[in-house]
Every structure is written in structure tokens, then in C-alpha cells.
Structure 1
Amino acid sequence: MLIGAVVIAIGVALLMRHAVRAPEGELTHKGGMRLVLWLGGIIPTVVLLGLLAYSLPFMKPRPTAPADLRIGVEGEQFWWRVIYRPAGAPAVTSANEVRIPVGRTVAFELAAGDVVHSFWIPGLAGKMDMIPGRTNRLVVRADAPGRYRGQCTEFCGLSHALMAFDVVAMPAPAFDAWLARERQPATAVADAAGARAFAANGCAACHSVRGAGATSAIGPDLTHFGTRRTLAAGILPMTTANVAAFIRHPEAAKPGVRMPAFPHISQAEATEIARYLQGLK
């Protein structure tokens, strides 16, 4: 893009120089047609072919083998619903973080629950739009362990720029063990006060915690919330203070978010809920 912009700028500068210095009436009809041909056809073609040749070595080939794993990702304002669909096993729901096995082909099945979003992992694959009522497919394969940053790239509302996620590529055996743990209910936690506050303030009306009686699928699944590295779809570090602040005033971190504010919850009670959630492993 930068190269193209430089070429266009040079062309415009040359045209302006010619227009200033050329005597009035010098350009004939034939000369004008020749100028149009060069500037409108030949030069743009050469520039585009050059850009194509430059970019081809950086393009990763798309995997052609059948997918070893299907992962559904649904864009919401402003978070990601993630559903692992392994062959021959029940689906596993998570949110805002994606894990994939190294060396295996993964098919992302992309959809949207409200408005148009776009799923992009620049270090791993191209981008694909997520459209309500339609499922698009993006096939990827990670060749080495690592963490890849993802981002929504289609304007979807006030917090569009704050809708990110991480893709964690894990060695295949480690991924299999992780998925088996993810399928299980949340581990028992000692923070009974936080669990009571979670229930008393109606958090289960929107969120699911498997094994704890919370089954709603309106908001992000919180079953293994404590294993995630970030909060609020990749924009905040996972700390007790950040979780408590987000519970009380989510719109301060994400304008336009659908989660209601809970200003009536005291700071102490919000901290209890935050500790309870961080204990869900």
C-alpha cells in the first residue's frame, strides 16, 4: 500500500509540474489520449503486478486437508462466543480466547449473533466476515506453538476497537488434555461468599457456570473463567481489581456493552464475586 501511494504521489506531482510548465494549448487530442492510456492503464497495471509479485512470497498457503477440529466462533457486541466441536464428542463452549492444536487443521465456523463482525488473526490467517444468519468457514493450521492476537475488523459499534481475542497454539497432546479439562464442570471453590454474591445479584441470568446451576447462554460462558489471561475480550489484564471494576461499571471499559451496570453492588461484594470467578479453573 505504501509503495502504491508513493507511485501515485509521484504521478500526481509530475502531472502538476507538466500542467504548470506546459504552454496553453500544447496538449493535442492525440497526446491527451496517449496520456490517459499511460496513466489510466499501463502504469496502474505495472504497479499492481509489481505489488502482487512483492506480496506473493508472504502469503501462506491455505490448508487443503479435511479439518481435524471444528471450532465455532460467534461475534457478539463486543465479545466472542467460542464452541469447540470435536468429532465424536460433545461440544464445549468458552469465550474470548481460542486454543488450537499445533500441526492439525482447524476449521473456524464463523457467524454473528447481532451485527456484522469480522474475524482476523493477522499472524496466522486472513480475515473473514461474520454475518448474521450465515456461516463462513476459515481453515487454518499453526505450525509452531505460540500466541496470536486476533481482532474484529468490521465496525460493529462503539467498542468495535475493543473487541479482541487471543489464539493460543498448543502442542497437540497438551491441547487434548486441556480440552478434556475444559469439558468438565468448574472445580469446587472455597470462596463461598463470592458464589453466594454471584447468585444473589442475578449473574446466572446471563452467564453459564457448568456444575454450579448457572445455565444461561446470553452472555459469555464463565465455567473456566479463571484460566483466561485477559478480561473483556482481550482488552484488560485478568486481575481481581479489573474484574471487580468491570462487574460494577462495564461501560467504563467498553462503551455500548450490553451487560448492565451494577453500581448498587459494593466494592467489597464485587471483589468477592471477582475472586469467585477467578477461582473457576
Structure 2
Amino acid sequence: MSLRWPAMAALLPLLLLGACQVQHYQSDFGGAAVEDRQFLTLFWIFIAVCAFMYALVVIFLVAGILRMRRAEANVVETGRHHQSDPLMHTTLIGWTALIGVGLAGLAIASFFADRSMAKAATNQKLSVTLTGNQWWWDIKYNAADASKTLHTANELHLPLGVPTRLILDSNDVIHSFWVPSLAGKQDLIPGRENDMTIVPKKTGIFRGQCAEFCGVQHAHMALVVVVEPYADFVRWWDHQLQPAPQPTTPLAVAGYKYVTSGPCSSCHNIGGTPASGQIAPDLTHLASRKSLAAGTMPMGEGNLYGWVEDPQSIKPGVNMPTIGLEPDQLHAVVAYLETLK
């Protein structure tokens, strides 16, 4: 028993160290959007008020214990019981009222934070539909002009300072959209549209994650979010609307022929080519993305080889089958995919 408390005291710094981290691109404390800043402000208000109330409870608990001990000692010495103290009653009533005011303050702070986010939702300038699939994200940028509607996958670009409405849906099971540095969680439910508004206030690359268990590869259903100045966003959108570039090397041409006429074209769409599948991620500008297989690994030649050759070894259970390409076919397909920028 004598060693228990010193041992616990020695472990306390290690436990506190686990709560420390450098700023990360998947952090609740990023404050990179209006919504996240509202949540953070509300969080610290709640922490401050609750810490104050907790301290009061501890102080009164200790004071009550000490007071009772003195009262019991007085009874033993004098044989007279402790009389009620009107000042103590008044003090307790005052502190109780203060706690009530604190709770009311939390309710008021929550109300104004909610109103602030609701106001942002009425001023949307951009609409994006995110559809969850096992285990990837389909992204559609909506436009009044149908020719400007953009389809992409697994990488969400947002313009800095522009209120963006995200329309959330699912094709299979319940997923949950969560980008900690930008906004809170919102479910994607099959057959039902949810929505949320994000107003990015900081440029950068942020990581999103499905936050609802959705099957064996739930942990590998990530989303890259790029917040960039409006002019850069417009240039990105215009580039993404362009058809896939034509291959120029013999190896890439061979890959083009296989991809657009073989089994790949049954599931994937590549703009400007015969490949027009609609049940898997759009590959039109695949090589311009920062990650592969919904954030499972960085985009790169080696990872492309591994993914195309045997996706099941990298992401078991994924809907993409292992086709069993010959080495020359594999080289050609990867060479072509690398041109899709």
C-alpha cells in the first residue's frame, strides 16, 4: 500500500504527456473553418465553467468535512450539538444561485453558437454532393450549367472563405463525414439527404475520415480536403472539367487501350474515353490526387503498381477485384494511369 501512491504519482506525467501533440492535419483544435472555431469557443467556455463548478464542489466538500469534524469534537467536549449557522445557509444559497447562472450561461453560449452556424448556412455559394460508398467517397460539384458539373473522388477541394453546402448521402450503409479541423460529424444515411455548411478560414490540406463503422475497411475510408484561395480553386475546377489527356508513349497507349476496353471500363469513368463505368471512383484526373484508395496510401508509381496488381492484399474486402494482369499489361496500365493528371 505504501508504494501505490508514489507509483501513481510517477505515472501521472506520462499520462499527461499522452495528451500532448504537435498540430496535425486531423486535429480538433485546427480552427480552420468558422464551424470549427465555434465548436472550439464553446468547448473552452464549457471547460472553464465546468472546471469552476468542480472546484466549488471540492472546496465545499472539504470545508464540510472539516466543519463536521470540528462540530463532532465540540459535542464530545461540551456535550452540546452544533447549532445551524445562518451565514452558512446564506452562503450556500448564493453559491447555488451562481452555479445556476453558470448553467444558464452555457445554454446561452450554445444558443448563439447554433445561431451563428445557422446564419452561415443561409449564405451558401457552392454546393457539393458527397456520397459514401464502401469504402470511398464520390464527390460531385453541382452547377446550374450541367456542363460545369464536376465528378471526382476521394479528394475534396474547397475555396477559402466561401460558404459551401455539403449534401451528404450514402449508396450502401451508414457512413459519417468528419474533418476534425473544419467541422463536426454528420451522418450519411442511405435514402436520406443530410447537409452541413463549411466556411473555410485557413488554407491547407486536412484529413477527413468516415467516423461510423461501415465494414471491414472502415479505417481506410479517408478523405483529403484541400482548402485553397478562390482563384486557385477555380483553376482546379476548370482543369478537372477537361477530358483525360491523350497518352503519347507506346507503353501508355497500350495501357489506354486495355483500360478503356477491358474490365476497368465496366466500373470506372475516364472523361473523354470509352470508359464510362459509374460504380467506382472517377479516374479522369487520378494522378493529380494526393492519395490512392481513399487515403490508404500516397499517390505514386510504386503504390499504383501494388494497387492495380492486387488491391485485395492492400485493402481486403474492397469491391475492386484482383484481375491477374500479365507483367506487360500491368506496366502499360500503370504508365497510362500516371498520365491522368
TM-score by length of 2: 0.64
Q: How does 1:1-281 map to 2 (within 5 A)?
A: 61-62=116-117, 63-90=120-147, 91-190=149-248, 191-262=252-323, 264-281=324-341
Q: Conserved in 1, the CA contact under 8 Å of 2:286 and 2:337?
A: yes
Shift of 1:255: 1.8
Match of 1:275, SS? helix
Distance 1:270 1:226 in 2: 16
Q: Conserved in 2, the CA contact under 8 Å of 1:102 and 1:145?
A: yes
Q: Conserved in 1, the CA contact under 8 Å of 2:261 and 2:275?
A: no
Percent identical residues: 37
Q: Conserved in 2, the CA contact under 8 Å of 1:240 and 1:271?
A: no
Match of 2:206, SS? strand
Distance 1:97 1:76 in 2: 14
Match of 2:272, SS? coil
State the Cα RMSD in Å: 2.8
Match of 2:177, SS? strand
Shift of 1:211: 0.4
TM-score by length of 1: 0.77
Shift of 1:86: 2.7
Distance 1:242 1:272 in 2: 15
Task: State the structure with more CA Rg.
Answer: 2
1:152-196: CA deviations, max 9, x gaps?
A: 000000000110011101100111111111111111222202112
Shift of 1:200: 4.9
Q: Conserved in 2, the CA contact under 8 Å of 1:78 and 1:160?
A: yes
Distance 2:331 2:127 in 1: 36
Shift of 1:73: 0.5
Distance 1:250 1:183 in 2: 28
Shift of 1:49: 5.4
Aligned length: 241
Match of 2:255, SS? helix
Distance 2:103 2:330 in 1: 58
Q: Report what 2:77 is aligned to.
A: none
Distance 1:169 1:203 in 2: 31
Match of 1:215, SS? coil
Q: Conserved in 1, the CA contact under 8 Å of 2:174 and 2:212?
A: yes
Distance 1:253 1:221 in 2: 20
Structure 2, unmatched stretches of 5+, are 1-42, 62-95
Residues 266, 156 of structure 1: CA spacing in aligned structure 2 closer, same or farther, 3 A cutoff? same
Q: Conserved in 2, the CA contact under 8 Å of 1:111 and 1:130?
A: yes
Higher helix share: 2
Higher strand share: 1
Structure 1, unmatched stretches of 5+, are 15-41
Match of 2:202, SS? coil
Residues 108, 177 of structure 1: CA spacing in aligned structure 2 closer, same or farther, 3 A cutoff? same
Shift of 1:89: 4.6
Shift of 1:244: 1.7
